[in-house]
């Protein structure tokens, strides 16, 4: 799908949403700290603000319009994202102030997510609109927040090293079984999947901003060999590192 087709798809969808959709969308493009998107009833992204483009490593909105989360994010994250929107479309009820922490962008902060159903002029649900922001108040943070944030920050700093569950449980002040269970519940993925995501996110940055060779990037991101790096990258991004570089390199 080329840019002209993507723009037409977006215009058609916004027309179905109503006459104020363009203004509504433009408003959220002005907010530097708010992440916003619209999605249709086929799980396709129809609008994306600038902040979300930065989070997703997209040069502009038209790179992602018409795509599904499963085409953009690692599977462990895409499944969570799409399930939320499908829940809202199915029930017609919004998700309000739900706390998530998935670390797609190497963040140690929790996010508060709000998702509403989008209806056409006849009242039929045709998609969803989502806005999420970072948790600011310590009062709104659950009791596991400090321990998991500590572990996530440790991973973020030491992802190049070999990290064991015992290491992470120790820095979080929890037993291994308790840490494994809590981390999976909070992050909605295993520690192994999270560490792989962090390594691949770092690799994405190096691929898109440097001329480093693939085997050097693999080593810099904590992979024990190039073939392991390529397999993991393709599993999470559905592209090889070389393909990703061709699409995203910004000299």
Quote the pLDDT of residue 26: 87
**If you average pLDDT over residues 49-74, what whole number do you get?**
84
Can you give the residue range of the structural domain that contains 221? 145-248
Q: State the DSSP code for 105.
A: T
Cα 91 to Cα 93: distance, rounded to the nearest angstrom: 5
- Per mean pLDDT, which range of 65-69, 96-100, 117-121, 150-154 is the poorest? 96-100
Sheet of 125-134, strands arranged across: 45-48, 35-40, 125-134, 111-119, 95-100
For residues 160 and 129, state if they share a domain. no
Q: Is residue 139 part of a domain?
A: no
Of 134, 157, 176, the one marking the end of a domain is 134
Select from 214, 219, 172 the least CA-distant residue to 191.
172
Three-class SS state of 240: coil
Q: Is residue 199 part of a domain?
A: yes
For residue 75, give the H/E element and its range.
Answer: helix 75-91
Of 101, 134, 167, the one marking the end of a domain is 134
Burial class of 187 by CB neighbour count within 10 A (0 to 12, 13 to 18, 19+): buried
* Residue 79 confidence class, pLDDT cut points 50, 70, 90: confident
For residues 9 and 125, state if they share a domain. yes
The residue whose two tokens read 């129809």 is: 46
From first CA to last CA, the distance across the chain in angstroms is: 25
- Per mean pLDDT, which range of 85-94, 100-109, 151-160 is the poorest? 100-109
Highest mean pLDDT among 80-89, 95-104, 132-141: 80-89
For residues 214 and 150, state if they share a domain. yes
**If you average pLDDT over residues 105-128, what whole number do you get?**
82
Highest mean pLDDT among 15-19, 77-81, 167-171: 167-171
CATH number at residue 19: 3.30.450.20
DSSP 128-177: EEEEEEE---GGGS-TTHHHHHHHHHHHHHHTTS---HHHHHHHHTS-HH
For residues 16 and 47, state if they share a domain. yes
**If you average pLDDT over residues 34-40, what whole number do you get?**
91
Three-class SS state of 65: coil
pLDDT tens-digit profile of 167-203?
999 999 999 999 998 888 777 778 998 899 889 988 9
Residue 106's region, left for phi above 0, alpha for psi from -120 to 50, else beta, is: left
Residue 103 scores a pLDDT above 50 = no
CATH number at residue 203: 1.10.10.60
* Residue 250 confidence class, pLDDT cut points 50, 70, 90: confident
List Cβ<8 Å contacts ≥24 apart for 200-203.
Answer: 200/74, 200/232, 200/233, 200/236, 200/237, 201/104, 201/105, 201/106, 202/106, 202/159, 203/229, 203/233, 203/241
CA 224 to chain centre: 26
For residues 190 and 151, state if they share a domain. yes
């Amino acid at each position: 799908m080329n840019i002209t087709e993507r723009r037409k798809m977006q215009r058609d969808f916004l027309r179905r949403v109503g006459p104020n959709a363009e203004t509504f969308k433009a408003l959220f493009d002005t907010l530097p700290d708010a992440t916003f998107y619209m999605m249709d009833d086929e799980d396709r992204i129809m609008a994306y603000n600038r902040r979300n483009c930065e989070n997703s490593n997209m040069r502009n909105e038209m790179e992602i319009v018409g795509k599904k989360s499963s085409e953009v994010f690692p599977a462990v994250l895409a499944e969570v994202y799409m399930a939320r929107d499908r829940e809202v479309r199915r029930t017609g009820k919004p998700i309000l102030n739900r706390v998530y922490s998935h670390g797609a962008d190497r963040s140690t902060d929790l996010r508060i997510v709000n998702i509403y159903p989008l209806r056409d002029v006849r009242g039929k649900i045709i998609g969803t609109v989502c806005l999420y922001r970072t948790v600011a108040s310590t009062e709104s943070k659950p009791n596991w927040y400090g321990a998991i944030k500590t572990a996530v920050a440790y991973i973020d700093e030491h992802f190049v090293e070999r990290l064991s569950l015992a290491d992470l449980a120790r820095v979080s002040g929890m037993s291994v079984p308790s840490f494994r269970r809590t981390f999976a519940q909070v992050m909605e993925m295993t520690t192994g999947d999270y560490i792989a995501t962090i390594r691949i996110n770092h690799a994405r940055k190096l691929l898109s901003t440097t001329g480093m060779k693939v085997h050097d990037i693999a080593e810099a991101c904590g992979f024990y060999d190039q073939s392991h790096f390529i397999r993991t990258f393709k599993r999470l991004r559905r592209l090889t590192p070389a393909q990703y570089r061709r699409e995203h390199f910004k000299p």
